[in-house]
Amino acid sequence: MKKRKLGAIEVSEVGMGCMAFSHGYGKIPPEQYSIEAIQNAAAHGCTFFDTAEVYSPNLSGIGHNERIVGKALKNVRDDVVIATKLFLGFGESMTGVYGAVRRHLEGSMQRLQTDRVDLYYLHRLGGAPVENVAEAMGKLIDEGLIRGWGLSQVDVDVIGRAHNVTPLSAVQNIYSMVERDSEKAVIPYCIEHNIGFVPFSPIASGLLSGKITTETKFEHNDDVRNWVPQLSKANIAGNQPIVDMLKRFADMKGAPPAQISLAWMLHKYPNVVPIPGSKNKERIVENLNASEVTLTDTEFAELETELNKCRVYGHRGFSR
């Protein structure tokens, strides 16, 4: 697969979001299936895997997903980039931010069966001033425990404050054809400062695959699609022109709609590395193959113009 850089860290142009093997999209697959799906993606050329300490069924407990990722990748550890994330609770860092961050990191490293984390994100702001977290991350980089660090769901003011203390490798925000807040200031800042931008939920939780209709039933337990704003019945109907437009391009290019939506962001920005998520081995490979779909400048311009004409129904933004 083609490669891109997140700061100094080289990764495949499309990564893999591993969350749904533990949380967020209903029933989780048997562990062996998840392990094989991750290994299959690695064999296909994916070198960038995204997890977080909190990804566990119903977000109760810690580390379910990290354990799966660790088991799956232990034999190819030196060939892949593992990104994970920590939540810093209020009060946790009373005795020092570095100590608190390091405790989280050690737990993650143990579960991931590794002696370093390639990319360590603060999952959400909270627990401590971002400058103090940046300082702690700088120390962990100096100690060789992490290669780079990142922030998730942040605006450009926070990114600037953090980057001035310890340069960031990546920012992971929600971004897709229907969540474009980061285009205004965050992505331009990241390009200017050599920071990678990692879109999460790049397929809008499935909407942009064209497989979701107003009749689609989501699962009752631990399924974010019940509250993702673009996926309410009314908003699925409202967003249909975007899906139809993607399907038109998909027919023209002989590629599925999800791939077109990923190819759109890859064409648009040189520092973007999406991490689509799926519980399905075949769809994981389909999404990775978006790296093979090349849009011409004219095709991209047409797609962008058509998209800009469409109203988006539902907005998640940086708040969740």
Ligand X SMILES: NC(=O)c1ccc[n+]([C@@H]2O[C@H](COP(=O)([O-])OP(=O)(O)OC[C@H]3O[C@@H](n4cnc5c(N)ncnc54)[C@H](OP(=O)(O)O)[C@@H]3O)[C@@H](O)[C@H]2O)c1
Catalytic residues, by residue number, are: 55
Q: Comparing C-alpha atoms, which of 28, 31, 34 is closest to residue 16?
A: 34
Q: Is 204 in the site for ligand X (CB under 6 A)?
A: yes
| The one among 283, 288, 295, 316 contacting ligand X by CB under 6 A | 283
State the alpha helices, DSSP H only, in 49-96: 64-73
Q: Which is nearer to ligand X, 139 or 218 (CB)?
A: 218
Q: Is 25 in the site for ligand X (CB under 6 A)?
A: yes
Q: Is 153 in the site for ligand X (CB under 6 A)?
A: yes
Alpha carbons 172 and 305: distance in angstroms, whole number:
26
Long-range contacts of 105-111 (CB under 8 A, 24+ apart): 105/140, 105/145, 105/146, 107/53, 107/62, 107/63, 108/53, 108/63, 108/66, 108/84, 109/145, 111/53, 111/63, 111/66, 111/67, 111/70
State which amino acid sits at residue 73.
L
Specify the stretch interacting with ligand X by CB under 6 A; choose among 5-13, 40-48, 196-204, 229-237: 196-204
Q: Which is nearer to ligand X, 63 or 202 (CB)?
A: 202
What are the two backbone dihedrals, phi and then psi, of residue 11, each rounded to the nearest 5 degrees? -140, 165
State which amino acid sits at residue 280.
N
Specify the stretch interacting with ligand X by CB under 6 A; choose among 71-79, 103-111, 125-133, 201-209: 201-209
Q: Is 18 in the site for ligand X (CB under 6 A)?
A: yes
Within a 13 Å sphere around the CA of 253, how many CA atoms are in the beta-carbon half? Answer: 24
Q: Is 20 in the site for ligand X (CB under 6 A)?
A: yes
Q: Which is nearer to ligand X, 50 or 222 (CB)?
A: 50
State the alpha helices, DSSP H only, in the chain: 31-43, 64-73, 97-112, 130-142, 156-165, 186-192, 233-238, 240-253, 257-268, 281-288, 297-309
| The one among 277, 293, 303, 314 contacting ligand X by CB under 6 A | 277
| The one among 11, 68, 186, 203 contacting ligand X by CB under 6 A | 203
Alpha carbons 202 and 187: distance in angstroms, whole number:
15
- 172 close to 200: Cβ distance less than 8 angstroms: yes
Q: Which residue is nearest to ligand X (CB)?
A: 17
Say which residues have a Cβ less than 8 Å from residue 315's Cβ, sequence separation at least 6: 179, 229
Q: Is 202 in the site for ligand X (CB under 6 A)?
A: yes
| The one among 114, 166, 182, 201 contacting ligand X by CB under 6 A | 201
Q: Which is nearer to ligand X, 260 or 303 (CB)?
A: 260
What are the two backbone dihedrals, phi and then psi, of residue 149, each rounded to the nearest 5 degrees? -135, 165
Looking at residues 238 to 267 of the shown chain, list those that interact with ligand X (rule: CB under 6 A): 258
Specify the stretch interacting with ligand X by CB under 6 A; choose among 13-21, 130-138, 234-242, 263-271: 13-21
Q: How many residues bind ligand X (CB under 6 A)?
A: 28
| The one among 172, 261, 271, 291 contacting ligand X by CB under 6 A | 172
Q: Is 206 in the site for ligand X (CB under 6 A)?
A: yes
Q: Is 66 in the site for ligand X (CB under 6 A)?
A: no
Return residues touching ligand X (CB under 6 A): 17-20, 25, 50, 152-153, 172, 200-206, 209, 211, 258, 275-280, 283, 286-287
